[in-house]
Amino acid sequence: MPHTDALARLWPASAVSVKAGDLELRWIDDEVLVHLAELAGRGIHDPEVMPFEHPWSRGTAEEVARRVLTYQWGIRSRVSPDAFALEFAVLHDGIPAGVQGLTANEWPVLGRVTTGSWLGRAHQGRGIGTRMRMLALHLAFEGLGAREATSGAFVDNGPSNAVSRRVGYEPDGAFHVAREGVAVLHNRFVMSRDRWESLRGDHATALGAPIEMRGVGGFSATISSTPRDN
Ligand SMILES: CC(C)(COP(=O)(O)OP(=O)(O)OC[C@H]1O[C@@H](n2cnc3c(N)ncnc32)[C@H](O)[C@@H]1OP(=O)(O)O)[C@@H](O)C(=O)NCCC(=O)NCCS
């Protein structure tokens, strides 16, 4: 049995992927991880700004790359019936461009996913961030039966806030978060299932190609069912 088939059987999260045209979200194996780590090391943002609550993206290329490795190695195992953290490689034309995360806590109670993401600088500002978020939402709502999706960004993160608005999330207030020793406002965004259903046609148009999901049935069997119909 090929290694990937055995892994998919033992760890179904590894077989989950979603794709539309030239853009794919898929499991971060060690080979892709090294590319992503090096990509992050080459820079995710200007040194004057900090999009993340924990400033993991500061430091030398090697320091940043190693943090990507250790973070991803640590988070891979976080799948249980009640909570999961799925981190996907974003592949554009097959090239690793960044990471799209999808996490859930108290999943059987809340049915809520939260997203987080980054792209290497060379891949930013070309619409990939918008499309990868749409793919993540498709996976969450259509694939996993989520009831709600949330996201957030510091008020000074123009592109991330623009992506959430463009994808159709509703603003859900703002709160202060400590960022490098300063209290900075952080916007919250929410997408209800009803809203996503009303927007899915727009998302399909924006994605511009049929959406293909894989491995969702096997993964869904390892987590609890959602409260969607409660
Ligand atoms: C946030 C991120 C994932 C978005 O991906 P992206 O591919 O760059 O985003 P897109 O090209 O799809 O869309 C960017 C949007 O931001 C807008 N934008 C760009 N710079 C902007 C700025 N300074 N102020 C306001 N809007 C801005 C663009 O006009 C575009 O909006 P539009 O499509 O409505 O015109 C990516 O920029 C990134 O990785 N940034 C650094 C890490 C980060 O911020 N991660 C998120 C933490 S919450």
User: What does the pLDDT read at residue 228?
Assistant: 62
Q: Is the CB of 188 under 6 A from ligand 1?
A: no
Q: Which residues contact 81 (CB under 8 A, 6 or more apart)?
A: 107, 108, 222, 223, 224
Q: Which CATH number fits domain 16-208: 3.40.50.300, 3.40.1480.10, 3.40.630.30, 3.40.1190.20?
A: 3.40.630.30
CA distance 82 to 80: 5
CA distance 161 to 187: 8
Name the H helices within 76-192. Answer: 107-110, 128-138, 158-167
Q: Residue 210 C-alpha to ligand 1 middle, in angstroms?
A: 24
Q: Is the CB of 114 under 6 A from ligand 1?
A: no
Q: Residue 128 C-alpha to ligand 1 middle, in angstroms?
A: 9
Tens of pLDDT, residues 168-182: 999 999 999 999 999
User: What does the pLDDT read at residue 4?
Assistant: 87
Kindly report the number of other CB atoms within 10 A of residue 219's CB atom.
22
User: What does the pLDDT read at residue 113?
Assistant: 98
CA distance 183 to 76: 31
In which band, very low, low, confident or very high, does the pLDDT at 162 lie, cut at 50, 70 and 90?
A: very high
Q: Which residue has the higher pLDDT, 225 or 214?
A: 214
CA distance 114 to 137: 10
User: What does the pLDDT read at residue 33?
Assistant: 98
Tens of pLDDT, residues 85-115: 999 999 999 999 999 999 999 999 999 999 9
Secondary structure (DSSP) of 197-213: HHHHHHHHHHH-S-EEE
